Amino acid sequence: MSKTDKIKAKLERWATEVWYFLKSFTFWKSFLGIIGMYVIFLLLTSQWMHCYTNHGESLQVHDYIGMDLDDAMKKASDRSFSIVVNDSIYVEGKAPNMVISQNPNPLSRVKEKRKIYLTVTKQVAELMTLPNLYGGNDDYVSFQRKLKRIGVNSRIVGRRFSSKLEENTILEVIFKGDTITEKLDSRFQVAKGSTVDFVVTERGGGKVPIPNLICQKYDGARFIVGNFNLNVGSIIEDATVTNKNNAYIWKQVPKYRKGGKLRIGEQIDLYLTQRKPDNCNPDDQDNIEVDPQGKPEDKPEDDINSDSGEEEDEEFE
Q: Please write the tens of the pLDDT for every residue from 31-52.
A: 888 998 989 988 888 777 766 5
- Per DSSP bridges, beta strands 59-60 and 99-103 are unpaired
- Per DSSP bridges, beta strands 115-121 and 82-89 are parallel
| CA 150-152-154 angle, 5° bins | 135
Residue 303 neighbours by CB under 8 Å, 6+ apart? none
Residue 279 identity (one-letter amino acid): N
Q: Does residue 8 belong to any structural domain of this protein?
A: no
Q: How many domains does the chain have?
A: 3
- Domain final residue, candidates 202, 237, 264: 202
pLDDT number for residue 196: 94
pLDDT confidence of 147, banded at 50, 70, 90? very high
Poorest-pLDDT segment among 77-81, 163-167, 195-199, 242-246: 163-167
Closest CA to 119 of 140, 141, 91, 79: 91
Residue 270: burial class (beta carbons within 10 Å; 0-12, 13-18, 19+):
buried
List phi, psi (to 5°) of 71: -65, -40
271 and 253, same structural domain?
Answer: yes
Closest CA to 270 of 246, 245, 253: 253
pLDDT confidence of 129, banded at 50, 70, 90? very high
d(Cα 53, Cα 35) in Å, to the nearest integer? 27
Residue 288 neighbours by CB under 8 Å, 6+ apart? 212, 216, 220, 224
pLDDT confidence of 234, banded at 50, 70, 90? confident
pLDDT confidence of 221, banded at 50, 70, 90? very high
The parent domain of residue 151 ranges over: 127-202
pLDDT number for residue 51: 64
Mean pLDDT, residues 159-165: 79
Closest CA to 85 of 115, 40, 55: 115
C-alpha distances in angstroms, 32 versus 26, 37, 90, 98?
10, 9, 69, 64
d(Cα 190, Cα 178) in Å, to the nearest integer? 13
Q: Does residue 55 belong to any structural domain of this protein?
A: no
Q: Does residue 112 belong to any structural domain of this protein?
A: yes
259 and 218, same structural domain?
Answer: yes
d(Cα 256, Cα 122) in Å, to the nearest integer? 49
Q: Does residue 283 belong to any structural domain of this protein?
A: yes
Q: Does residue 133 belong to any structural domain of this protein?
A: yes
Residue 160 neighbours by CB under 8 Å, 6+ apart? 171, 199, 200, 201, 202, 304, 305, 307, 312
134 and 96, same structural domain?
Answer: no
DSSP state of 311: H
List phi, psi (to 5°) of 224: -65, -45
What are the beta bridge partners of residue 178?
175
Higher pLDDT, 18 or 237: 237
Beta strands in the chain (DSSP E): 59-60, 82-89, 99-103, 109-110, 115-121, 127-129, 153-161, 170-175, 178-179, 189-191, 195-202, 207-209, 231-237, 248-253, 261-263, 267-273
168 and 132, same structural domain?
Answer: yes
> DSSP letters of 103-153?
ESPTT-EE-TT-EEEEEEE-SSPPEEEPPPP-TT--BHHHHHHHHHHTT-E
- Domain final residue, candidates 202, 218, 239: 202
- Domain final residue, candidates 152, 169, 202: 202
Q: What is the dihedral of CA 166, 172, 173, 176, to 10 degrees?
A: -140
Q: Does residue 135 belong to any structural domain of this protein?
A: yes
Q: What is the model's pTM?
A: 0.39
Residue 164: burial class (beta carbons within 10 Å; 0-12, 13-18, 19+):
exposed
- Is residue 151's pLDDT more than 60? yes
281 and 215, same structural domain?
Answer: yes
CATH of the domain at 226: 3.30.10.20
Mean pLDDT, residues 51-77: 81
Mean pLDDT, residues 193-204: 84
178 and 131, same structural domain?
Answer: yes
Q: How many CB atoms lie within 10 A of CB 105?
A: 10
212 and 197, same structural domain?
Answer: no
| Average pLDDT over the chain, rounded to an integer | 80
146 and 107, same structural domain?
Answer: no
216 and 172, same structural domain?
Answer: no
By percentage, how much of the chain surpasses pLDDT 90?
27
Mean pLDDT, residues 237-241: 89
